Amino acid sequence: MAGQSTIVVDANSLLNLATVRVDASDCAPTGADPLKALLSTYEVHVPDVVMGEIGAAAVGDDLLARAADLVLQAAHHLTTHDVEAALEAPLTYGLDTGESHAIWLANDLQAAMFLTDEFNTTNYLLVSLALDDRNTLFTTPHVLCSLARDGILSAAYVDAVLTYFVETKHWDSAYVERLRSEYL
């Protein structure tokens, strides 16, 4: 993995990237595997509590459980860290444990990127306050557009994935349109 940018990823981003691949409905785009593209492009790190959240989501046979199972199958491509042992005090920003531990890990590793899907909430602002200035805050639609810009995923496929998420996850369409116009 030498030469790859270090990225710390929260649970929701991993699950969203996997959802595209496991959704067999007519509205899901077919083509590349966004989770695989992320894992092969970046040196991906997660706190163990994030993997615990994904493991808990893998129960059942719904779309979320299938996405969680795909992430667990790819877990050998992630570097997992025991953050609890190193964390002196939890962040007091009102974020959940997974987000707090991931932010701490991003700051500790001096990660080039922190990937979260909290952009439709006030938590996005809280995350940006908690990250050290050297970290770049990314969202899943932003990293998908970056993967298209760099030729790892096709622009047409990413465009379809963005439409899928706007329709199914109600991602902010103005934000997604801005990313489309800048990257695609």
Answer whether 75's CB lies under 8 Å from 68's CB. no
Above 80 in pLDDT, residue 61? Answer: yes
Answer whether 89's CB lies under 8 Å from 48's CB. no
Instruction: Tell me the C-alpha to C-alpha distance, in Å, between residue 13 and each of 92, 142, 144.
Output: 22, 11, 11
**Other CB atoms within 10 Å distance of the CB of residue 157:** 19
Question: Which is more confidently placed, 4 or 183?
Answer: 183
* Average confidence (pLDDT) over 35-47: 97
Task: Note the pLDDT tens digit of each residue in 77-116.
Answer: 999 999 876 766 656 566 778 888 898 899 899 999 999 8
Above 90 in pLDDT, residue 127? Answer: no
Whole-number percent of the chain with pLDDT over 70: 84
